[in-house]
Structure 1
Amino acid sequence: MPLRFRRPSAWSLRARLLAVQVTLLALVCVCIGAGSMLATSRFLIEQLDEQVRDASFRSVTLFDLGPPPPMPGVPRLAGPGPIFLDAPGQSTGTVGAVIRDGRAAEAAVITVTGARQRLTETAYQQLSTVGEDGCTTVELDGLGRYRLTRAVAADGTAIVTGLPASGVDNTLLSLFAIFCVVGAVALTAAAVAGVVVVRRQLAPLSDVAGAALTVADMPLERGEVNLPSPIVSVSPAQVHTEIGKLGTALNRMLERIADALSARHASETRVRQFVADASHELRTPLAAISGYTELAQRNSDRVPADVAHAMGRVASEAARMTELVGDLLLLARLDSGRPLERVPVDLSQLTVDAVSDAHIAAPEHNWLIDLPDEPVVLAGDQARLHQVIANLLSNSRIHTPPGTTVTVHLVVEGDQLRLMVRDDGPGIPTEQQSEIFERFARGDTSRSRRGGSTGLGLAIAAAVVKAHHGSISVRSAPGDTAFVVILPAAVA
């Protein structure tokens, strides 16, 4: 897998601080090294120039005095070039040249053996161009870099003398190598120390980030939430630091959030209790209304037709309201956490029964079943699981036009059961899919309220599935809507 380079803005704070630290230290090392190299180079060049001037003074003096008389026992080395190169004090590598009429008449260099070696024609020409304005650096042909100077003898002859700059170059190269090694060691040590220091200094910030992630992963959307207080420990000595201020602000923010969540939970509890109490109290008058309407309908042939029709409508609405009250009571029981029955349930048989009921209720739809060969048995509440399947089928029946094909799939996948109710209806708008399992959620005109939908069917299905430690989801597009229920395949 190829590595992707991330921009510095995407690096972590630790990485950026360490990179800045190492970069600044590298710049400091480069500046110090460059300054030291420059100062050393100037010092060595000035020192070499002083030696060149001394050699030039000796050469001019010896040229003015002429060749020394032969001395017994002191041999003279033969070779080309000026005779003053044989004088005592002339070091190895010294270049000497005699310039007459603007051209080098003779020139040579002292070899490591002390002999004089003739220079090339190109070197002759280079020596002829040396001016009298101090020492000059020239890349002599065949010899390398030289510092040369020009002086005038007593008879007006120009004498060019020079010394090699290789010593300076070698010294600077050695110094550069030393700076590189020392700089690399210093940068490595600084990087290691920086990792330790930055990690230690940013440890409180990491604690704050970890605490924030812990709170972010908590289920804060509903129910009672117990937030740790304080979530970040801030010592009194760090209250006025940046990390201390951040931790204190986070603790105060979480306290406010905890208060708001507690108030919300208390409000939700009161509302749910009110709904449960109201639903329970409504059952008695609804039962009385249903009883009296049933009694009145027994004598419908003795009352006017409009009165009989009105009593029929009262009975129909009373039945619908009784169903709504029953749904609300069921949701209230599930919200209170009352345990469901845990008995062996044949989910295959439940599916067949629910699809058969749906087929009778809506014969104009096409109902299909896809079941495993063996019965699917799990531990759960049979009545509630039947209600889940019936509600999903009712949702497809109510919100799709006649001729829609509804298919129920039941599959065993490892330790899970997957129940899917799929239809080829008009689909659910994308903006409504996130809230379709909320209570009293209703679709638009494409999924209308035909059949007296209360908006609680999918909410009850979701609550029952959650009570069975499962999950329910929906995916929808025009022509393909699927509700998927995942249940643990635990056999009682």
Structure 2
Amino acid sequence: MRLQNRFALIAGAITTIVSLSIGYFAISTAFNSEIQRVDSLITRVSVELDTRDPLSSAVFLADESDSQLIVALLDSSGELFTVRTSKDGKELTASIPEAKSSLGKIRTIGSELRYRGLTFALEQDAYLVLAVPIQDLEGNRNRNIERLALFLAVALLFAFLATRLLTRPDIRKIERLAERARDIASGRNWREEQVARGNSEVDDLSKALNQMVRYLQSALDGERRNSKKMQEFVGDASHELRTPLTVIKGYVELLGRSESLEPQARARAIERLGSEISRMERLISDLLLLAEIGEARGGILDDAINLSDITRVQLTDLKLLDPNREVEDSVTAEVFILGSLPHIQQLIANIFSNIRRHAPADAPVYVHLGYESQGVRLTVGDGGPGLPHEAYTSGIQQFQRFDTSRSRESGGSGLGMSIMQAIVSEHGGTLTLGPSRLGGLEIDIRIPLRDE
């Protein structure tokens, strides 16, 4: 069943229930009020009867009240005589058993003509019956019921038409939303629907659908970017692995002709084989580390890490390995964060390894570590050659070497910055590359604090 017809049926059902309830209550109340008025008349006359001559006094009281009261006598022979007719000339036509059924209690008697009657026992097995015809009251009640039925039919028609008219705009919106949902599911239409102003629940549904469309578009765009990055990553990884494999294959073929190979050339070939194998090991190790960080992201990182101690260990190694390097050390003691201890150690090691690999041995370095309003900040800068300007705006890419000076021969896999970026992101932080005040590269890391 269509929603609009369902609304119309619901409105009709509610209209029927409300109208019947109100109409029944009103008609019943009016009819019962009239019956009570009749019963009050009969009761008043019965109370004022003269016990010495109840028949005569009943006729007198009926005449005095100028009412529809009928006075009848049921004699000992079982015949019913109307002593006084009603104001409009009606007589009591009830049967003897019906007349006796109201003995001592007001009841509705009669079959064709109905009365409210009260019977009194007299001497010599006779009975006095006081009755008031109520067919006019019942006729009024029946006419009111007919009017209620007519009103109900008109109200139902009005409710049906009004419901269809009032719900038509929202029903059309729902139909458009359903069509849009089908288009979205089939991928034909990803446009956002113009939402009308107002508080309609259908408008809220349209807003929610637009929000879902934006989310799906964002997710689809993200999936496409990730797919593209994955393709680039696989291609770069294949290229990076192919180069040492080609070198290894060449030297293996060279060693295969060892009969004619001089000892010096043989030693050189073995040395190059070892170098390329080590390079492949580093590349595979970096790839595994990146995969590990990706799997752990969003997991529980609850190691209490003394970042100050880890940084000072690397500073000590840097000063020991490069004694001619000027180092500006500003490390706050006891700086703690929650996270993965092995990954944070790898992060700090990569930062200082990057300095030793790419900055001259006498290039100055500054290291600042401390708390700030929202967390922990680590800034490391050097006086080396730095990076091209576009490298600071393009962001970190996997297997990216920012210039030719950072070549494969320096020992890097091109994944160092990617690993650092992944570790910082894993801990909810940010890593920014920029020019240092010494003219080289500055790495600025911010990691937010979180409760234990």
Q: Is TM more than 0.5 here?
A: no
**Bigger helix share:** 2
* TM-score, scaled to structure 2: 0.43
* TM-score, scaled to structure 1: 0.40
